[in-house]
């Protein structure tokens, strides 16, 4: 096995692959409403990560997926869009509960920002673990604080570190999101981020390929030639570096990003997700590499 992928983890734990229900929970983001910043991160469109999500209340979103389910199919309820711990605890509980309408929901996954994690939020999330499995997804993107300012992330890496520590104290698995190809970043910054994560209790990782999407600040930077995406080979080599330097126990949730249909401006190589993953696999095979083969905490 080249790396410990999510589908393999699901088969180990549940005896089958789980399908994902992507949910727009109706949350905002402190990086949009002025609490931390405005406009969001430079690669983020008006609908955040939820351009593909069909609207409606949470229960309706989940029910549509359940109505279309195949026999025996089970699910992850993924609160994906914007910051899904950014509300009063009573609101969070109400919205999480709204997704738990069927025993076929086996997991709740909650996407959020590290600066929206508190002991009270952790206690609430942990309270669901006696009903379903749960994990929290944090958008780090990079461990480099200079890059974080450029992309308008809105918090320093030490905030991420504290959030991971706090979630770990409540036995809540953490999935970290990284983006390869951010403005001004090269191999040195990728290695810095990989080293940073290798020393932390990270359960899962999502590696996203950068894409320039219409209607974003990054698209403006691309148009004015302030930004140029990495080549496909640069992306492949960066992903392989990350995979070989993280713990072999880390669950790899994804190796590339998905730009919404009709929104991609660049790079062209990002249009074929499956071909990109196959090239990563073949490169690792040809070089005799495996996840964690260069993992070292020293």
Which pLDDT value is given to residue 297?
Answer: 57
CA 158 from centroid of its chain's CA atoms: 18
The per-residue pLDDT for 33 is 86
Distance CA 282, CA 285 (A): 5
Answer for the pair 21, 80: CB distance below 8 angstroms, yes or no.
Answer: no
In the sheet with 204-209, reading across from the earlier edge strand, the strands are 19-23, 75-79, 105-112, 133-141, 174-180, 204-209, 251-254
Instruction: Enumerate domains of the chain plus CATH numbers.
Output: 6-287 (3.20.20.70)
Q: Where are the beta strands (DSSP E) in 133-263?
A: 133-141, 174-180, 204-209, 212-213, 251-254
Establish how many alpha carbons lie within 13 A of residue 150's alpha carbon, considering only the half-sphere containing its beta carbon: 16
CB atoms within 10 A of CB 1: 8
Q: What is the pLDDT of residue 252?
A: 98
DSSP-assigned letter for residue 184: T
Q: Which residues, given as ranges, of the chain have pLDDT below 50?
A: 48-52, 298
Joined together, the tokens standing for residue 96 give 């999480």
pLDDT at 51: 47
Please, what is the end-to-end C-alpha distance for the chain in angstroms?
A: 25
What is the per-residue pLDDT for 50?
A: 46
Q: Residue 34: what pLDDT? A: 84
Q: Which of 143, 85, 91 is nearest to 119 (CA)?
A: 85
Question: What's the confidence (pLDDT) of residue 208?
Answer: 94
Supply the pLDDT for residue 44: 82
Cβ atoms 114, 84 nearer than 8 A: no
């Amino acid at each position: 096995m080249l790396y410990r992928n999510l589908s393999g983890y699901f088969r180990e734990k549940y005896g089958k692959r789980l399908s994902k229900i992507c949910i727009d929970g109706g949350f905002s983001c402190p990086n949009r409403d002025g609490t931390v910043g405005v406009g969001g991160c430079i690669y983020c469109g008006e609908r955040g990560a939820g351009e593909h999500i069909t609207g409606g209340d949470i229960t309706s979103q989940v029910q549509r997926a359940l109505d279309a389910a195949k026999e025996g199919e089970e699910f992850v309820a993924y609160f994906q869009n914007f910051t899904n711990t950014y509300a009063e605890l009573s609101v969070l509980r109400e919205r999480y509960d709204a997704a738990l309408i069927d025993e076929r929901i086996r997991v709740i996954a909650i996407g959020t920002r590290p600066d929206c994690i508190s002991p009270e939020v952790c206690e609430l999330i942990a309270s669901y673990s006696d009903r379903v499995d749960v994990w929290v997804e944090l958008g780090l993107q990079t461990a480099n604080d200079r890059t974080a300012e450029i992309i308008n992330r809105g918090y320093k890496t030490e905030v991420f570190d504290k959030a991971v520590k706090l979630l770990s104290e409540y036995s809540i698995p953490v999935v970290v999101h990284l983006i390869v190809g951010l403005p001004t970043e090269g191999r040195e910054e990728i290695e810095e981020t990989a080293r940073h994560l290798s020393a932390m209790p990270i359960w899962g990782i999502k590696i996203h390929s950068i894409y320039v999407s219409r209607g974003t600040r990054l698209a403006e930077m691309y148009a004015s030639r302030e930004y140029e995406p990495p080549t496909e080979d640069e992306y492949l080599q960066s992903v392989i570096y990350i995979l070989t330097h993280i713990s072999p126990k880390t669950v790899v949730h994804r190796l590339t990003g998905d730009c919404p249909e009709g929104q991609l401006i660049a790079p062209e190589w990002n249009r074929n997700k499956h071909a990109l993953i196959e090239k990563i696999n073949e490169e690792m095979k040809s070089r005799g590499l495996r996840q964690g083969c260069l993992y070292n905490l020293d």
